[in-house]
């Protein structure tokens, strides 16, 4: 099995607790890379990149963990690419 790069976008419920969401995402999910992406009207989404083993349900597990974080409005897997 190889490795894949999974890019996930997390939308916050509100920007008042965005810094806590960033910290919680790093602590719980351990991303390879994290970026902030401006969306609109002062709302910023988190773009997280992960390097994981290519297995069935790998990105689904990350998505489920991200949905359990506080202050998360939505989670979307943007891409999954083989390395």
Model pLDDT, residue 52: 87
Mean pLDDT of 7-12: 96
User: Can you give the pTM of this predicted structure?
Assistant: 0.89
Per-residue pLDDT band for 2 (boundaries 50, 70, 90) equals confident
Composition of the chain by helix, strand, coil, percent to 5: 30, 50, 20
Yes or no: domain 3-76 corresponds to CATH 3.30.70.60: yes
pLDDT tens for 23-72 read 999 999 999 999 999 999 999 999 999 998 887 667 888 899 999 999 99
What is the rounded (10 degree) CA torsion for 80, 56, 69, 47? -10
Q: Where exactly are the structural domains of the chain? A: 3-76
Tokens 């910023």 correspond to 44
Model pLDDT, residue 56: 65
Model pLDDT, residue 55: 75
């Amino acid at each position: 099995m190889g490795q894949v790069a999974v890019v996930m976008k997390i939308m916050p419920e509100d920007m008042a607790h965005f810094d806590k969401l960033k910290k919680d995402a790093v602590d719980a999910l351990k991303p390879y890379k994290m970026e902030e992406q401006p969306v609109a009207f002062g709302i910023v989404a988190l773009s997280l990149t992960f390097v994981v083993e290519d297995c069935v349900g790998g990105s689904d597990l990350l998505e489920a963990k991200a949905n359990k974080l506080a202050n998360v409005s939505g989670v979307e897997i943007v891409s999954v690419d083989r390395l």
